[in-house]
Amino acid sequence: MATEAKKGNSIIETIKTIVYALLIAGIFRTLFFQPFWIPSGSMKQTLLIGDFLFVNKMTYGYSFASCPTIRIPVVGLNIDAKDICGFLGDDNDRIFGGEPARGDVVVFRHPVSGQDYIKRLVGLPGETVQMIGGVLHINGAPVALEDDGVFEETAGPQGPQRLRPRCENGPVGDGGLCLKSRQIETFPEGTSHPVLNIGRQSSDNTPVYNVPAGHFFFMGDNRDNSTDSRVPQMAGGVGFVPYQNLIGRADRIMFSSSGTSMLAFWTWRSDRYFKRIE
């Protein structure tokens, strides 16, 4: 009897340990840092498919979007962040709110689907944004661009989704060299980052977007391969993103995997450990 009681207590203690660990991890993830694995190439060359990073949630303060959304389709589990942190309100405000800066690489909650996206902040509340001939215009003025050679990558399936890159030098077979024109874009505040172009397309010329108060305009650095604020939400895009939907700022890549799983350490890219995101 004593042995059975001891075994029962051991099981209970194990369960309690697991529950406590999950609670601590959940609190840490909600308040401080959220892990994020880059699934697509919309932010190349700044971020590559397979980059693993932590998102700093303290930068912009907290809203319902700071809480995790838990989706496990195979078991039918779908718990939205609003189900957990709806008490924080839906008034487009934040607790301990901080102001985002143009050029920040931000993870945010899609205003319609609730999916997590990562893009660069280019337009602030009250500003106008427009693309003319592939050049970003802010408040009617073109942003400075400087040619910077080409971005090279190996053609072929990438990441767990096996996505194939689009290439400026046409369809390229597996193992071939995929090229994109690269330019350095410099914002009025003086911060710079690379942007990639594949060819002329409709997203290179847009109407004037008037960013509403309390909202932000985001774009991917891989300009011709990014679903972002240039496409309205009703057309399947991102549109304007409310302040409350910001999750946090991406500051540094921890490591990067060129394979189909981040656990495949032999595919990690040695040049991207602890790389600063600019």
Sketch the domain layout of the chain as residue ranges.
32-276
The CATH fold assigned to 32-276 is Umud Fragment, subunit A (2.10.109)
Of the listed 40, 63, 66, 119, which one is catalytic?
119
Per residue in 149-179, pLDDT (tens digit) is 999 999 999 999 999 999 999 889 999 999 9
Of the listed 40, 42, 63, 203, which one is catalytic?
42
Q: Does residue 113 carry a catalytic annotation?
A: no
Per residue in 37-71, pLDDT (tens digit) is 999 999 999 999 999 999 999 999 999 999 888 87
pLDDT of residue 33: 79
Q: Does residue 119 carry a catalytic annotation?
A: yes
Per residue in 214-230, pLDDT (tens digit) is 999 999 999 999 999 99
- Both tokens of residue 204? 């290179």
